Amino acid sequence: MAAIATLKDLYETLSPGLPGAGAAGLDRLRADGYARFLADGIPTPKVEGWKYTNLRDLAGVSLAPAQGTIDSAANTDLDLPSVAPGETHRLVFVDGVFNAALSAVGTLPAGVTLDSLRGLIESSPATAAEVLERFPAPKADTGLRVGPNPGRGQALGLVGLNGAFLAEGAVLTVGEGVTLAQPVEIVFIATAADGAWHPRLLIDVAAGATVTVAEHHVARGGGATFANIVSGVRVGEGAVLRHAKFQEEDDAALHLASVTATVAASGTYETFVLTTGGRLARTDVQVRLEGSGASTRVSGAYGVDGSRHADFTSLIDHVAANCTSREVVKGVIDGKGRAVFQGKIIVRPDAQKTDGHQLNRALLLSDTAEIDAKPELEIYADDVKCSHGATAGELDEEALFYLRARGIPADTARALLIAAFLDEVAEEIGDDRLRGYAIARIQDRIGRLTGITVDATDLAVEE
Amino acid sequence: MLEIRNLHATVDGKEILKGINLTINPGEVHAIMGPNGSGKSTLSYVLSGRDGYEVTEGSVTFQGKDLLAMEAEERAAEGVFLAFQYPVEIPGVSNTTFLKTALNAVRKHKGLPELDAMQFLKLIRAKAKALNMNDDMIKRAVNVGFSGGEKKRNDILQMAMLEPSFAILDETDSGLDIDALKLVADGVNSLRSAERSMLVITHYQRLLSYIVPDHVHVLAYGKIVRSGGKELALELEAKGYAEFGSPEAA
């Protein structure tokens, strides 16, 4: 494969210049990543988990990590997205490179650290390597099914690629029992017409701690950029992490993300993904509920038009008993847009009293819109409650006429119904700031899709 | 106000309306009664502009304008209102968002300034109170989880907000118990005025005891076969629709 031959040169040229090069731990992590990429390559539709998402577009894209200028003063006027402007701790990356000038981390409570990965590596490569190894990695075999041809659920070449160039990223740790009131924001801004970045995002929430994290991927300028993000998440006993990703890159961008989370007893991991940008965007979420009473909410909203492609793939692995999972993914597909939903729930033999619920709904606005939905349940315990539902349909004609019969123009009526359809997903978000921002971004996207500004803000009806 | 001339309409190629003539003057309330399948609901949908109903012949003039040339939303903005036989549930769209959007679209069409949130809320609460609707019903998603009576009241609330000059009430009595019917009828009666006309479509005379019409018409197999005063409704109640024959006779 051409990409691999090119990458060999790239890796050999670039790795000696990466921060912390020469430190044993980091060198090994990068070498492991490179080896994984060589072994698995870029996933093709032959791999089960990539059957519906073809990465042929990657062939024309440079995989080399972008070499931005650090602390570039030229970028200080960039418009930064925020779920709560002025009230968050933020790390900003411009074209994949940490930008200290745009970042702003306020006074953090004792026990909380928020660092750029580059900064961490530069101050102590050995510590950075230790931190990196603490976090869970995605699994290739995403089921327990055995047989003559079990196949591979995933290919981890992209995760390997991310590891080969480990340098950029963010590390958040929240110590035991600490509640961080202000959200943490990790902001990726694409300004260049192309370029690739492979950031690593790590979030460690210790027992009894609570934190909210917003992750933004936006374009200010931007173009056919390639973001290859790998995230590791640890939620400790009784800890709560509310995590939202707002993927709003340029319509030409490629965005591939892999999130792996483990949740200890009575811990809660909520993750919401908004996908409205990119010619191809995929988020792959693996959540392992490892301790009794752990819970997760995995939700997603997407909008694709033109010939854009959005993929939401998830694996919720009920390892321990008494765990709860709830997954709601809804999207709107117009033009020749295509969406993929793959949602697997595994209930392992010890995971009795599991409560698992999954819902996937797609709204098709054109005859050429397409959704591939693949819900999968693998249940090996006998005392469980699991359900899943999938629907794909058009806008409700009855509802449309009802709105029009009250004087609402047809295009506004359509925009209102689309907003209502997607806003329901936002109701899954537990944090008010994340939810409010999600609704605002959904409405903004619908506005650009339909040319209609929908103000579906609930009017207060107070005395 | 409204002039229907020789109106023919088909649904899926089948002729349902076969030459309707009807003139409604300002302030008048007309009732259309008829057996099931006579074309009552088709008439209401043709007048309100629903897709899927093809007018093959005839004309409808509303306040001097060609009603049939307008889209559904234009008709509503011009002052035509349809109270639905089955008001539609719209999950995710709150009553307030829905009505504010509708009212401001209609006001914009009329060249009136749009209402802001405060002005709108003040207005809707006053109108809702008169219909015995509480704040919770105003805030909830349109008709979601509403009882049959609540849905009809919600439709009448919309009518009170939009202040149409011509309202079509399509089987407004269906699915209502007597208390709900009285509430809805009171709401409708409070909206009667010298400038506002209504077309009340019903199968049963019962509704017309509460909303007393000026004229009653019998629609059978796509044509108005008899017209009279309010006493005609009582006669129909006693005798039924049998004398108006079968489809073959029409």
Q: Which residues of B touch A461 (CB under 8 A)?
A: 96, 121, 125, 135, 138-139
Cα(A214)–Cα(A223) distance, integer angstroms: 23
Residue A151 has pLDDT above 60, yes or no: no
Going by the DSSP 8-state scheme, the letter that residue B193 receives in this structure is B
CB contact under 8 A, B92 and A410: no
Residue A408: closest CA among chain B residues belongs to which residue? B102
- The predicted pLDDT at position A291 comes to 98
The torsion angles phi and psi of A407, rounded to 5 degrees, stand at 100, 0
Mean pLDDT, rounded, for A392-399: 94
Residue B19 has pLDDT above 80, yes or no: yes
CB contact under 8 A, B97 and A406: no
Looking at every residue in chain B, the average pLDDT score rounds to: 91
Burial A344-380 (b: 16+ CB within 10 A, else e): bbbbbeebbbbebbbbbbbbbbeeebbbebbbbebbe
CA distance readout (Å), A436 to A371, B64, B204: 27, 47, 49
Find the helix or strand (DSSP H, E) in which B65 lies.
strand B65-66
A309-350 pLDDT, tens digit per residue, is 999 999 999 999 999 999 999 999 999 999 999 999 999 999
Mean pLDDT, rounded, for B26-49: 93
Cα(B153)–Cα(B213) distance, integer angstroms: 20
Mean pLDDT, rounded, for B195-215: 92
Q: How far is A390 from chain B (nearest CA, A)?
A: 18
Tell me the one-letter amino acid at B105.
Answer: A
Closest partner CB to B72 (pick from A401, A424, A460):
A401
Q: Which residues of B touch A421 (CB under 8 A)?
A: 92
CB contact under 8 A, A416 and B51: no
Contact B175, B148 (CB under 8 A): yes
A354-373 pLDDT, tens digit per residue, is 999 999 999 999 999 999 99
A415-424 pLDDT, tens digit per residue, is 999 999 998 8
CB contact under 8 A, A404 and B49: yes
Q: How far is B243 from chain A (nearest CA, A)?
A: 35
A424 touches chain B (CB under 8 A): yes
The pLDDT > 90 percentage for chain A reads 76
Going by the DSSP 8-state scheme, the letter that residue A160 receives in this structure is H
A218-275 pLDDT, tens digit per residue, is 999 888 999 999 999 999 999 999 999 999 999 999 999 999 999 999 999 999 999 9
Band the pLDDT of B234: cuts 50, 70, 90. Answer: confident
What residues in chain B have their Cβ under 8 A from chain A's Cβ atoms? Answer: 48-51, 71-73, 76-77, 81-82, 84, 87-94, 96-103, 105-106, 109, 117, 120-121, 125, 135, 138-139, 141-142, 158, 162
Mean pLDDT, rounded, for A384-400: 94
The pLDDT > 70 percentage for chain A reads 92
Closest partner CB to B139 (pick from A405, A413, A461):
A461
Residue B77: closest CA among chain A residues belongs to which residue? A407
Residue A173 has pLDDT above 50, yes or no: yes
CB contact under 8 A, A405 and B91: no
Q: Quick count: other Cβ atoms within 10 Å of Cβ A266? A: 20
- The predicted pLDDT at position A149 comes to 42
Distance from CA of residue A389 to its chain's centroid?
Answer: 22
B151-165 pLDDT, tens digit per residue, is 999 999 999 999 999
User: Within 13 Å of residue A79, how many CA atoms lie on the same side as its CB?
Assistant: 4
The ipTM, to two decimals, is 0.95
Q: How far is A444 from chain B (nearest CA, A)?
A: 17
- Pick the more confident residue, B149 or A404: A404
CB contact under 8 A, A406 and B76: yes
A412 touches chain B (CB under 8 A): yes
For A14-151, list the strands marked E by DSSP. 89-94, 97-104, 112-116
- Largest alpha-carbon pair distance within chain A? 71
CB contact under 8 A, A410 and B96: no
Residue A2 has pLDDT above 90, yes or no: no
Residue A69 has pLDDT above 60, yes or no: no
- The least confident of A84-88, A135-139, A158-162 is A135-139
CB contact under 8 A, B72 and A405: yes
